[in-house]
A and B are shown apart, each in its own frame.
Chain A
């Protein structure tokens, strides 16, 4: 099976702009989660989608949003970018049974200048 794919891999934006990141899960996986990874805060959970519904949300401001489509692909959006949003954004997919282990994509490296 193909793994989780994320696009784009690298992105440079300016403060105040908005950005949309895309994630395609492993075929058959209906759960998609997003995490932010920074050197200072480590890995932090953003949100999780299952069957087009957000079923869990982390402690991030409303500038961070996401959605999931009927084919389980997911997007996350960050509006009004701040310098502190510079991070590696990781998407993970999992099946909704068994151990719920998550399989991660390569990430999108976002740099805000």
Chain B
């Protein structure tokens, strides 16, 4: 079965420091990977995706993610964290085991990012 794991419930980082939010996946075939962010009482906002091509993917708000096929990881990164980046982050993979085209996403449990001034 396909799955996504976010091993850290919470990540704490000081403003201005680099941040990393970890994600590992287990899929059959080539993965379609996504990162989303959720602010309190809001829906999920799309940050970036990896489909194919360069292993370093750039997304919204200065975020980027590194795809590593050998380690089956897709870690989210940002060179310099902002207090406003504090939110809940979700890694997701498109469910490719379903027949035909489908948009179904399998989500990790989420990681709370806390950026302190």
Contact = CB atoms under 8 A, between A and B. Distances in A.
Contacts of A42: 107-110
Interface in B89-106: 90, 94-95, 98, 100-106
Given A45-B104, A48-B103, A56-B98, A100 B43 contact: no
Interface residues of B, number: 26
Given A96-B103, A99-B49, A102-B105, 4 more contacts: A33-B104, A58-B104, A100-B103, A106-B42
Interface residues of A, number: 28
A56 B99 CA distance: 9
Contacts of A98: 51
Given A45-B105, A104-B36, A55 B100 contact: yes
Contacts of A96: 101, 103
B103 to A, nearest CB: 5
A19 B25 CA distance: 35
B51 A99 contact: yes
Given A4-B43, A107-B43, A102 B110 contact: no
A43 B90 contact: yes
Given A33-B103, A55-B102, A56-B104, A99 B43 contact: no
A6 B101 CA distance: 25
B17 interface: no
A28 to B, nearest CB: 14
| Chain B residues touching A, majority SS | loop
Interface of B: 32, 34, 36, 41-46, 49, 51, 90, 94-95, 98, 100-110
A94 interface: yes
Interface string A17-59: 0000000000000010101000000110100101000011010
B106 A101 contact: no
Nearest to A4: B43
A95 to B, nearest CB: 9
25 contacts: A4-B43, A6-B43, A35-B105, A35-B107, A42-B110, A43-B90, A45-B104, A45-B105, A45-B106, A48-B102, A48-B104, A55-B100, A56-B103, A98-B51, A99-B34, A101-B46, A101-B49, A102-B46, A104-B36, A104-B43, A104-B45, A104-B46, A105-B43, A107-B42, A109-B41
